[in-house]
């Protein structure tokens, strides 16, 4: 169970990453949160256990604070101010949505060789013809969230997805159009930098899925 202090810590951490592009040191985070380093470490561990962020294995250090990645991910998100890593295009869109800024997101089609760039201009993606495939179903995302994000990839067309799944022995999952993905990212991440940050309940998550007509078994949680 996350306390309000834990959730406030998560919000503060997210805003600091948005400001500087990296996580603050434990001492700096403790100072900003008016907590001891011991209290910060305990809070981060509870956030990790409740799937509100991901710590490195065996050390209390943030690895992923969605939508931000703190190690090189598959996407580079360039905002007017600075750049950020994201582990998938969904999170890359989420960074632009949370920052409420224009952005240039560089990644690779299908996670393979061909580079591709997606731009957010005037609050909308400029590319609308591509699609985004999520292979790992929602209930399994936090079994290994790094792996799950790696299976979320953009494609030029839906026709390419089955061959990709067969080639890499991955299941076919849900397909968004790029505008649908952007709308979902805005709804999920658009308020992540606001105060206070609060983790969604299961009921709130299901309601968000319902708003986007995500009612198949893929989205069962």
Q: Which domains does the chain have, with CATH numbers?
A: 4-65 (1.10.10.10), 71-193+202-219 (3.30.450.410)
Question: pLDDT, tens digit, for every residue of 4-30?
Answer: 999 999 999 999 999 999 999 999 999
Question: pLDDT, tens digit, for every residue of 90-118?
Answer: 999 999 999 999 999 999 999 999 999 99
Question: pLDDT, tens digit, for every residue of 146-186?
Answer: 999 999 999 999 999 999 999 999 999 999 999 999 999 99
| E strand map for 38-111 | 54-55, 62-65, 68-69, 75-78, 83-86, 103-108
**Half-sphere exposure (CA, 13 Å, Cβ side) for 112?**
12
This model's pTM is above 0.95: yes
Residue 1 has a pLDDT of 84
Residue 209 has a pLDDT of 98
Residue 27 has a pLDDT of 97
**In angstroms, rounded to a whole number, what is the distance separating the alpha carbons of residues 211 and 215?**
10
**In angstroms, rounded to a whole number, what is the distance separating the alpha carbons of residues 93 and 184?**
9
Residue 49 has a pLDDT of 98
């Amino acid at each position: 169970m996350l306390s309000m202090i834990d959730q406030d810590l998560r919000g503060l951490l997210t805003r600091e990453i948005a400001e500087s592009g990296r996580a603050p040191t434990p001492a700096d985070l403790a100072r900003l949160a008016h907590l001891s380093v011991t209290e910060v470490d305990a809070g981060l561990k509870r956030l990790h256990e409740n799937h509100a962020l991901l710590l490195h294995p065996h050390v209390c250090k943030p690895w992923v604070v969605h939508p931000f990645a703190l190690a090189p991910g598959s996407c580079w998100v360039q905002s007017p101010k600075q750049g950020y890593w994201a582990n998938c295009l969904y999170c890359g869109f989420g960074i632009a949505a949370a920052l409420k800024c224009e952005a240039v997101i560089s990644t690779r089609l299908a996670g393979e060789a061909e580079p591709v760039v997606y731009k957010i201009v005037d609050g909308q993606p400029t590319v609308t013809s591509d699609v985004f495939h999520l292979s790992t179903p929602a209930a399994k995302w936090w079994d290994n969230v790094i792996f799950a994000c790696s299976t979320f990839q953009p494609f030029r067309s839906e026709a390419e997805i089955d061959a990709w799944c067969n080639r890499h022995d991955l299941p076919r999952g849900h397909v968004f159009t790029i505008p649908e993905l952007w709308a979902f990212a805005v709804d999920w991440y658009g308020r992540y930098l606001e105060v206070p940050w609060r983790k969604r309940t299961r009921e709130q998550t299901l309601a968000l899925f319902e708003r986007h007509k995500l009612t198949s078994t893929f989205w069962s949680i």
